[in-house]
Amino acid sequence: MNEFVKITLAGLAGLGLGTFFFYGLWLTVRKTLTTSRPALWMLSSFMIRMGITVAGFFYVGNGNWQRLVVCLLGFVIARYMVTYLTRSAEAQQQPVDKSISHAS
């Protein structure tokens, strides 16, 4: 496999890892609002998300700093994508009532 294909796959893997990490974070925060044990949810979610993400970075990088950098770039791009998509989904679910005023 040539290097261009490996770099491209590393970027896609970074997108996948980032989507998994940040969408999992979003789901965890939503779940902690309704559960009786929010600390347990946050801690277990953090450990699972971080373990899978770090293992993924080690596997993708495999001693090659260029692939690791491209994977990190994909991870950061996924953060912005998940933030945009989850923000859009929340805006569609909860209409804003602009008639409420907080002025005294």
Whole-angstrom distance, CA of residue 22 vs CA of residue 84: 11
Evaluate whether residue 54 is within a structural domain: yes
* pTM for this prediction: 0.81
- Asked whether residue 78 carries a pLDDT value surpassing 90, the answer given is yes
Q: pLDDT-based confidence at 94, cuts 50/70/90?
A: low
Evaluate whether residue 46 is within a structural domain: yes
Q: pLDDT-based confidence at 96, cuts 50/70/90?
A: low
- What are phi and psi for residue 34, nearest 5 degrees? -115, -5
**Domain carrying residue 8:** 3-92
For residue 88, give both structure tokens. Answer: 């859009």
Whole-angstrom distance, CA of residue 70 vs CA of residue 83: 20
User: What's the total number of domains in the chain?
Assistant: 1
Evaluate whether residue 41 is within a structural domain: yes
Evaluate whether residue 77 is within a structural domain: yes
pLDDT more than 90, % of the chain = 72
Q: Where are the alpha helices (DSSP H) in the chain?
A: 3-32, 38-61, 65-93
pLDDT at 87: 87
